[in-house]
């Protein structure tokens, strides 16, 4: 079975401006969402208490809200359904620092008149812990980008590094936009998903770039657009195939993995789609836009080769004692 004929070359670069425009539109829309509606920070980052309760029958959400709102301690709490009508999540912005009796115990008591239930999960994160996590999250993200920048510059060229970072920012912004759009609670697992997208999309881009690098050094073609088109077309089959398998695996996780990892798998789904799109249509377009020059790259490579040959020669001479 084959999806794409590998000997056919599609003209991606000829249409790069419409693609870049479309991407810019998505990124701008995501930023607008981020700055207007804003991220829905979960308790991991904002601090607070989360109580997951499962009723034997459908949860009487209205009664629960009434009971909670009439209690001054839980005035600012929110109640939402979680997966099934029987299960709810109660979120309270505050926490208790005493170990003995905590908010979870209080909630358990005050809900008694609402029916038969089981408290299945109580998560409580203090504001200090949330702040530290937020700091660490941002740190991890920036450090990851920096390390990638260095590695790709070292293995390829700085334009490749910039292009891949731009593609990553593109992917992550759109994924964040989707998170805002669907009001997903941003907790640690979402941070993990974002970082996975980062790794995954980078993976995809690198494979394409590797092919471009190979094309630049081996192809007789001198026109960058043609070399890039050929390389992207050659990797098309691989890119789609890997994306499809990963997509299906994450889709099963999303459909059957349970409510708790829903946010995580949803973010990954978005990331895989965007990441695949960007490594085919966006990353290489950036490279062309950055005026990557084939002839200069070839010159540099030749120079590098010459240097290492000279070095070898020098060493050989040195070892023979002729210097």
Backbone angles phi, psi at 86, to 5 degrees: -75, -25
Choice between 128 and 220, CB closer to other proteins: 128
Helices (H), 156-223: 158-181, 188-218
DSSP codes of every residue in 61-87: HHHHHHHHHTSGGGTT-EEEEESEEEE
Choice between 33 and 229, CB closer to other proteins: 229
Give the shortest CB-239-to-other proteins separation in angstroms. Answer: 9
Looking from the CA of 131 toward its CB, the CA atoms found within 13 Å total: 3
Cα(268)–Cα(49) distance, integer angstroms:
26
Cα(125)–Cα(145) distance, integer angstroms:
28
51-70 CB burial, b ≥16 within 10 A, e <16: bbbbbeeebbeeebbebbee
Q: Give Cα 49 to chain centroid, integer Å.
A: 26
Q: Are 224 and 288 in contact (CB under 8 A)?
A: yes
Give the shortest CB-233-to-other proteins separation in angstroms. Answer: 11
Choice between 26 and 126, CB closer to other proteins: 126
Going by the DSSP 8-state scheme, the letter that residue 183 receives in this structure is T
Choice between 101 and 311, CB closer to other proteins: 101
Give the shortest CB-36-to-other proteins separation in angstroms. Answer: 29
Give the shortest CB-256-to-other proteins separation in angstroms. Answer: 5
Choice between 8 and 37, CB closer to other proteins: 8
Give the shortest CB-263-to-other proteins separation in angstroms. Answer: 11
Give the shortest CB-258-to-other proteins separation in angstroms. Answer: 3
Choice between 33 and 193, CB closer to other proteins: 193
């Amino acid at each position: 079975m084959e999806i794409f004929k590998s000997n056919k070359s599609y003209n991606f670069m000829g249409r790069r401006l419409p693609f870049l425009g479309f991407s810019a539109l998505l990124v701008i829309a995501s930023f607008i969402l981020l700055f207007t509606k804003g991220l829905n920070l979960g308790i991991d980052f904002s601090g607070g208490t989360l109580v997951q309760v499962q009723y034997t029958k459908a949860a009487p959400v209205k009664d629960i809200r009434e009971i909670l709102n009439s209690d001054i301690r839980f005035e600012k709490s929110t109640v939402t359904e979680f997966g099934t009508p029987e299960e709810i999540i109660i979120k309270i912005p505050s926490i208790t620092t005493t170990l003995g009796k905590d908010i979870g115990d209080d909630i358990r008591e005050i809900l008694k008149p609402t029916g038969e239930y089981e408290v299945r999960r109580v998560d409580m994160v203090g504001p200090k812990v949330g702040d530290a996590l937020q700091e660490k999250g941002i740190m991890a993200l920036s450090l990851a980008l920096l390390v990638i920048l260095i590695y790709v510059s070292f293995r390829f060229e700085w334009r490749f590094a910039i292009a891949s970072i731009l593609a990553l920012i593109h992917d992550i912004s759109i994924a964040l936009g989707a998170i805002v759009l669907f009001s997903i609670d941003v907790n640690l697992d979402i941070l993990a998903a974002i970082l996975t997208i980062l790794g995954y999309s980078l993976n995809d881009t690198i494979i394409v770039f590797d092919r471009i690098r190979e094309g630049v050094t081996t192809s007789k073609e001198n026109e960058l657009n043609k070399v890039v088109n050929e390389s992207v077309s050659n990797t098309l089959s691989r890119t789609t195939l890997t994306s499809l398998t990963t997509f299906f695996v994450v889709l099963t996780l999303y459909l059957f993995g349970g409510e708790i990892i829903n946010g995580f798998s949803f973010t990954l789904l978005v990331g895989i789609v965007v990441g695949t799109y960007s490594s085919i249509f966006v990353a290489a377009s950036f490279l062309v836009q950055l005026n990557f020059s084939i002839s200069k790259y070839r010159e540099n490579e030749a120079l590098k080769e010459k240097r290492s040959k000279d070095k070898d020669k020098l060493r050989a001479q040195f070892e023979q004692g002729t210097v």
